[in-house]
Amino acid sequence: MRKYETIYILQPDLGEDEIKAIADKVQDVIASYKGAFNRLEDWGIRKLAYPIRKCARGRYLYLRYDGGRELIAELERRLRLDEKVLRYQSVNITDLPEKPVAEKKAPVAEPETAEAPEAGEAVETAANPAETANE
């Protein structure tokens, strides 16, 4: 089975019982297609980037589950038919690349320092680095 996550956006003016009914329908689809339900999170009401069906805000719900292709097809079909669902998106997260591990850098050896000049002594510096290399 593959791992999936679906985020769907509901109309913001729905009551808790209507949101619960939609979440139950989604879980029934997952169970009927022998999927494994992992997590359902309510991300709350957020402002949309652009109005969808005259709604400037929407209630976001995050769903994580395991299943097959048939499950995704049926879940998206049911979300598409429900007028209370504004948008949805399903993503396969089975083969996501792992974050690269940062390589530890070896400590850089400090260059040997010459003795500091005494107070009052002049320090000669070359204006052109090529002059120093030729000497």
Domain count, the chain: 1
Structural domain includes residue 50: yes
Structural domain includes residue 129: no
CATH code, 53: 3.30.70.60
What's phi and psi for 133, nearest 5 deg? -70, -30
Other beta carbons within 10 angstroms of residue 52's beta carbon come to: 14
Please report the pLDDT score of residue 1 as a whole number: 85
Nearest to 85 by CA among 47, 63, 52: 52
Structural domain includes residue 99: no
**Percent of residues, the chain, with pLDDT higher than 70:** 70
pLDDT in tens, 78-94: 999 999 999 999 999 98
* Structural domain of 40: 2-92
pLDDT in tens, 9-41: 999 999 999 999 999 999 999 999 999 999 999
* Cα distances (Å, whole numbers) of residue 73 to 30, 63, 100, 116: 11, 15, 33, 75
Structural domain includes residue 127: no
pLDDT in tens, 110-128: 666 556 556 555 555 555 5
| DSSP-derived 3-state class of residue 131 | helix
Structural domain includes residue 76: yes
3-state SS, one letter per residue, for 109-122:
CCCCCCCCCCCCCC
Structural domain includes residue 118: no
Query: Could you give the angle at which helices 16-32 and 69-81 cross, rounded to 10 degrees?
Result: 150
Structural domain includes residue 80: yes
